[in-house]
Chain A
Amino acid sequence: MARYDRAITVFSPDGHLFQVEYALEAVRKGNAAVGVRGTDIVVLGVEKKSTAKLQDSRSVRKIVNLDDHIALACAGLKADARVLINRARIECQSHRLTVEDPVTVEYITRYIAGLQQKYTQSGGVRPFGLSTLIVGFDPYSGVPSLYQTDPSGTFSAWKANATGRNSNSIREFLEKNYKETSGQETIKLAIRALLEVVESGGKNIEVAVMTKEHGLRQLDEAEIDAIAAEIEAEKQAAEAAKKAPPKET
């Protein structure tokens, strides 16, 4: 096996591209990120590993916008993310310049995935070590979308998804609890999913919300804490209801 992971262009005898799989490992070590699509809103949440005391946390933004109506969160190598995000931002403006239309979410996802794929089929380069969650609204129909890409260059649309650390448990939670929601309910669902694997508190998660009218809005710590408290209260109420149904003798 060791002989087939040196150069990216080499398939292993059993059909694996080891560099791509190792890149997926890097993603699995990255911070948890979750995305949920509602009927009129899309929510992205990212785990924030505790910031160093001397670090200015405002300079570490994990959810970024690519254009007025498109945002991205990712898990994996942050330096690779910077390069990919920069290329995507240029493409968004370039598209507007050449066809006088903003990009659709699918177009820019396809572009990013295409870029990730290119680096799995060239000599002397390694794949990008990140998976992205891309959200946005179609510029004309106003339909919200959520897409995911990974280091192999595949992409697909999702109603809700997670990537990074413990993404399997988050996805299981979402599969059990997903329903069509809108507005505040969607935000709550995203935060609930993230809190499955992250310590509770506004300090440990970064949440951003995108609507058609107002674009991307980062939630501040106080807001996240308030919603987390609501969720906690609902959980307590559910437990209490389960434990103490009136005993009929």
Chain B
Amino acid sequence: MECVFGLVGNGFAIVAADTSAVHSILVHKSNEDKIMVLDSHKLIAASGESGDRVQFTEYIQKNVALYQFRNGIPLTTAAAANFTRGELATALRKNPYFVNILLAGYDKETGPSLYYIDYIATLHKVDKGAFGYGSYFSLSMMDRHYHSGMTVEEAIDLVDKCIMEIRSRLVVAPPNFVIKIVDKDGAREYAWRESVKDAAVASA
């Protein structure tokens, strides 16, 4: 049910994730931010078991920060992705984490990049990727409309197309999405796409 997808454009990478926190048939909240800012120029969009999602991504975030203090320079996106994958792999045959991750980052030397890391520690460097039931729709949409070197406007247009597709075609479609972007100026929130706001208390 959790939808996460992302793509690489011209000098930036964009990731979008749904924002519903669900427990069986109950929606706890519909503004849960599942895209963590890993450091100044990296984003982790995670989906999966909610406890594992938070625990694992925070653990990665603190270790990435420690590396920076120890060595005086930040990890590259590729190094962070490999570290993340290594942690998943180590835990896999003992106590696996059920978290799927799209790691987007911008490095000065190599530009933007996107890494697909699934819960059994698969690692792929990709131009576009997606997880969850929503991936059936968003990957198809991106396969049709994606081309390399898209501008931010074109990329957001494509992201909106994917969100439209998910909303209209997925039976239990999440109502709200958050979009974050990372480029040479850093990682930051780009926009929210809300179709359901938390209802204000109705007057009697």
Q: Which A residues contact B (CB, under 8 angstroms)?
A: 61, 65-67, 86, 89-90, 92-94, 96-97
Contact = CB atoms under 8 A, between A and B. Distances in A.
Contacts of A65: 69
10 contacts: A66-B69, A89-B66, A89-B69, A89-B70, A93-B62, A93-B63, A93-B65, A94-B62, A97-B58, A97-B59
B59 A67 contact: no
List the 6 shortest-distance A-B pairs measured between CB atoms, nearest first: A93-B62, A97-B62, A93-B66, A89-B69, A93-B65, A96-B62
Nearest to A89: B69
A247 B69 CA distance: 61
A73 to B, nearest CB: 15
Contacts of A61: 72
A90 B69 CA distance: 9
Interface residues of B, number: 9
Contacts of A67: 69
Contacts of B63: 93
A123 to B, nearest CB: 30
Interface string B43-82: 0000000000000001100110110011010000000000
Contacts of B59: 97
A61 B69 CA distance: 13
Contacts of B66: 89-90, 93
A94 B65 CA distance: 11
Given A65-B69, A96-B62, A96-B65, 12 more contacts: A66-B69, A67-B69, A86-B70, A89-B66, A89-B69, A89-B70, A93-B62, A93-B65, A93-B69, A97-B58, A97-B59, A97-B62
A112 B141 CA distance: 55
B14 to A, nearest CB: 27
A89 B62 CA distance: 11
A157 to B, nearest CB: 24
Contacts of B72: 61
Interface string B72-105: 1000000000000000000000000000000000
A96 B69 CA distance: 14
A93 B58 CA distance: 10
B178 to A, nearest CB: 20
Nearest to B64: A93
Nearest to B58: A97
Contacts of B69: 65-67, 89, 92-93
Contacts of A92: 69
A93 B70 CA distance: 12
B146 to A, nearest CB: 37
